[in-house]
Amino acid sequence: AQSVSQHNHHVILSEAASLELGCNYSYGGTVNLFWYVQYPGQHLQLLLKYFSGDPLVKGIKGFEAEFIKSKFSFNLRKPSVQWSDTAEYFCAVNARNSGNTPLVFGKGTRLSVIA
């Protein structure tokens, strides 16, 4: 069965600090990879996704993630965080089999950005 591990439960950063959130998955086959964000009081929104091609993907609001197949990792990065990035971040994966497959999520990382 697939699983996703997010290493950090809660990260606290000052504004303008750099961010890296870890995500590792376990699955032997071909996968699609996603980062979703949940701002306070809002629903899950897609931040970025990886299907194939360039392993460095760019998403909204200056976020990017790098797929490293040999490490089964898909870490999220942002060079300089803002107070508005305070949110919960979820890494998710699904298998690219025939048909659609459900997402398997990590437990999430809560990011708090302080002034």
Residues that bind other proteins (CB under 8 A): 4, 32, 34, 36, 42-46, 49, 51-52, 90, 92, 96-108
In Å, what is the CA distance from 20 to each residue of 8, 33, 74, 115? 10, 16, 10, 18
C-alpha–C-alpha distance, residues 20 and 1, integer Å? 26
- The nearer residue to other proteins, 9 or 115, going by C-beta atoms, is 9
H/E stretch holding 36 reads strand 31-38
- The nearer residue to other proteins, 28 or 99, going by C-beta atoms, is 99
Instruction: From 29, 30, 91, select the one nearest 59 (Cα to Cα).
Output: 91
Residue 95 in tokens: 């298998």
- Closest CB 15 distance from other proteins, rounded Å: 26
- Closest CB 65 distance from other proteins, rounded Å: 15
- The nearer residue to other proteins, 85 or 90, going by C-beta atoms, is 90
- Three-state DSSP class for 65? strand
- Closest CB 91 distance from other proteins, rounded Å: 8
- The nearer residue to other proteins, 17 or 64, going by C-beta atoms, is 64
C-beta separation of 63 from 78 below 8 A: yes
- Closest CB 9 distance from other proteins, rounded Å: 8
